[in-house]
Amino acid sequence: MKVLSFRDLRPADQLDFRFHGRFNPHAALTQELEPFLQALEKHAAAWRPQVLGGKRYRKFSRDAFWKVLEEERDEHGTSLGLYRTHEPAIDTMLDLWFPPMPLKFYLGLAIQPLSSFSELAPSREFVDMVRVLASHYPVTHARANSGAENELADSPYFGRDEETAYRDGFDKLYELSWLNVFGPQLVETLGRERLLSTPAHLVEELPHGSVLLVTWPTAADFASDEARQAQARAFVHLRPDLDFETVLRTLRERSQTLAPVEPRFHPDVAALLSHVVDSVTFSQRQRQVARLNSYQPPVPDEWLPVEAALPVDVPDVPKALHALAYQAEHLVALLHTKVPSVFEGTSESLTDVDFHFWHQNFPEVFEREKIDAHAVPAIGAYLGQVLVRHLGGQWLPRKNWQEAQVKVGTRVWLPFVRAHRYMRSRQALLDYSLTQLFREAQRHRG
C-alpha cells in the first residue's frame, strides 16, 4: 500500500504538532486510547488518517489499529505511524512507554500543506482535538506551529545544546507557538493568574492543571503582521523580562524570511536551480531563491570554431566511437539507481545528473584521484553522447581522450574539458553544469 509522503509533494510549510503527556498504564489499552481515536474521528475530518504503519502498511480501521499496537509492543512500549494516501499529507507517530520506563504518551503530527488551515473551521477543529487530548492525557507540554517557524526559532533546542535541551526540556517558556498547552509545572513557573490573563485569541483552563493558549484564529496566518503583533503581546505578557519591540522585530524578520520570492533564475539552469531550492529546508527556501535569482553562471567557453577543430588522429574511428559509448555507460552504471533518467540520455537527464552530484557534494566528498580517473571521463563521454543524439552532433575522437570533440553546427564542443572543470568543487557543478553547456550548444547548432 502506497502512502503519500511529503517528498511526493511540492515543498510547502507544515503544521507541526508535538504532544508530551502521560496515560494510565493500569487501564486496558483499548479503554485508555479510546479518547484518542474519538478525537481523530470527530475533529480530524480534513486530514483523517487512512493508513496505519507498523511492520507493514494497513488500511486504517479500529481493528487494524489495535493489531498494529500489539505487533509493535515490547517490554518498553509500543508505537505506530499514521498516514494518508492523498492531500493533505500527514506523518504521525504515536509512542507509548510503559513502566519501568518513564511513563510517556507522545504524539508527533505533521500536516502538509499548512494552507489546509487557512480557514477558521479546520483551525478550530484542530484546537478542539487538542483540547480532548489534553483533557484525557495529563500533559507536560504541547504545541502546534508552522514547521518553518520552528526551524527559524531553533525548536526544540532554542539555542541550547542537545544534552541541555534533553535534560531541561520545557523548563520555561522559550518561544510562544500558535497553539500551546502548558502543563502544571510550566503553569506554576509562569503563574496561573498571569497565564489566564494573557491577551490572546483563546486562553482556557483544562483538566489536570493545564492551560490551553491559542494566539490567533487560523494556524496558516501566523506570519501576518496582525498575528505577529498578537504573538508578541502574548509572549511579553508571559515573559515580562522581554521587550515588546525587540520581540516584534524578531518575529517580523522571520515573516520577511518566509515571504515568497518569485524565482527569476537564469533560463539555461532554471530547472537545476529549482531542484537546488527544493532541497533546502523550507524556512530557508525564499532566501535561497533570492540568492539564486542573482546568480549568473559563466558563459560556456569549452568550444572552438569548426575551422579550428583538432583533426581526428585515431587509426580506427569505429573502435574509438565504441570506446566513447562504453565510457558513457560507466556513468549510467554509476547513477542508474539514484538517477533513473540517466538511461534516457536527454537534456533533462543532464539536469538530474547535475543535481545529483550537487546534492551529494560529489567533488568534495570522494577521492580526487578516483574522480579524475573515473568520474571525469564517464561524465565527458556521457555529455558528448547527449550532444550527438539530440543535437545531431558528430564525435571527432582523439588519441588523447581529453581532446575529443563533438561537432555541432559551426562549433566543436569539448565535453571532457567541461567535465574536468565541472568536477572541481560543489560550486563548479553549478558554474559548469552539463545542462548549461547543452543549452548553449543547442542555440548554436545552426
pLDDT at 333: 96
pTM of the predicted structure, to 2 decimals: 0.87
**Beta carbons of 19 and 130 less than 8 angstroms apart:** yes
Tens-digit pLDDT profile for residues 230-248 = 999 999 999 999 999 999 9
What is the number of domains present in the chain? 3
**Beta carbons of 361 and 354 less than 8 angstroms apart:** no
292 and 316 together in one domain: no
The Cα 420–Cα 425 span in angstroms is 10
pLDDT at 319: 97
Domain end among 242, 277, 296: 296
Say if residue 100 is exposed, middle or buried (CB neighbours under 10 Å; 0-12, 13-18, 19+). exposed
Alpha helices in 79-224 (DSSP H): 120-136, 147-152, 162-168, 184-190, 192-196
382 is a domain residue: yes
**Beta carbons of 78 and 65 less than 8 angstroms apart:** no
Sheet holding 139-146, edge to edge: 57-59, 51-53, 77-83, 89-97, 104-112, 15-21, 139-146, 179-182, 211-214, 202-205
> What confidence category does residue 110 fall into, taking pLDDT thresholds of 50, 70 and 90?
very high
C-alpha cell at 51: 493508513
Which long-range CB contacts under 8 A does 97-104 form with residues at least 24 apart? 98/25, 99/25, 101/76, 101/77, 103/22, 103/23, 103/25, 104/20, 104/21, 104/22, 104/77
321 and 272 together in one domain: no
280 and 325 together in one domain: no
Say if residue 299 is exposed, middle or buried (CB neighbours under 10 Å; 0-12, 13-18, 19+). exposed
> What confidence category does residue 226 fall into, taking pLDDT thresholds of 50, 70 and 90?
very high
1 is a domain residue: no
Domain end among 258, 277, 312: 258
pLDDT at 122: 97
151 and 227 together in one domain: yes
363 and 378 together in one domain: yes
pLDDT at 47: 95
**Beta carbons of 39 and 125 less than 8 angstroms apart:** no
Question: DSSP letter at 392?
Answer: -
Question: DSSP letter at 317?
Answer: H
Tens-digit pLDDT profile for residues 287-309 = 999 999 999 999 999 999 999 99
Q: Give the percent of the chain with pLDDT over 90.
A: 93
304 and 292 together in one domain: no
- Three-state secondary structure string covering 259-316: CCCCCCCCHHHHHHHHHHHHHCCHHHHHHHHHHHHCCCCCCCCCEEEHHHCCCCCCCC
Rounded mean pLDDT of 350-373?
A: 97
24 is a domain residue: yes
283 alpha-carbon distance from chain centroid: 9
419 is a domain residue: yes
> What confidence category does residue 157 fall into, taking pLDDT thresholds of 50, 70 and 90?
confident
343 and 417 together in one domain: yes
**CA end-to-end distance (rounded Å), the chain:** 51
Say if residue 255 is exposed, middle or buried (CB neighbours under 10 Å; 0-12, 13-18, 19+). middle
Q: Which amino acid is at 311?
A: P
**Boundaries of domain holding 376:** 299-443
210 and 279 together in one domain: no
- Residue with cell string 571532457: 416
Rounded mean pLDDT of 213-236?
A: 98
pLDDT surpasses 90 at 429: yes
317 is a domain residue: yes
The Cα 128–Cα 177 span in angstroms is 17
364 and 381 together in one domain: yes
273 and 324 together in one domain: no
> What confidence category does residue 169 fall into, taking pLDDT thresholds of 50, 70 and 90?
confident
Tens-digit pLDDT profile for residues 272-282 = 999 999 999 99
203 and 308 together in one domain: no
130 and 51 together in one domain: yes
Residues β-bridged to residue 57: 53
pLDDT surpasses 90 at 378: yes
Which long-range CB contacts under 8 A does 359-367 form with residues at least 24 apart? 359/275, 359/279, 361/426, 362/423, 362/429, 363/423, 363/424, 363/425, 363/426, 363/428, 363/429, 364/425, 364/426
Tens-digit pLDDT profile for residues 260-270 = 999 999 999 99
374 is a domain residue: yes
The Cα 402–Cα 279 span in angstroms is 33
Residues across the chain: 446
pLDDT surpasses 80 at 106: yes
Tens-digit pLDDT profile for residues 36-93 = 999 999 999 889 999 999 989 999 999 999 999 999 999 999 999 999 999 999 999 9
236 is a domain residue: yes
274 is a domain residue: yes
pLDDT surpasses 90 at 7: no
Mean pLDDT of the chain: 96
The Cα 224–Cα 222 span in angstroms is 6
pLDDT at 410: 95
Domain end among 250, 270, 296: 296
pLDDT at 170: 81
Sheet holding 303-305, edge to edge: 303-305, 411-413, 405-408, 394-396
Rounded mean pLDDT of 174-192?
A: 96
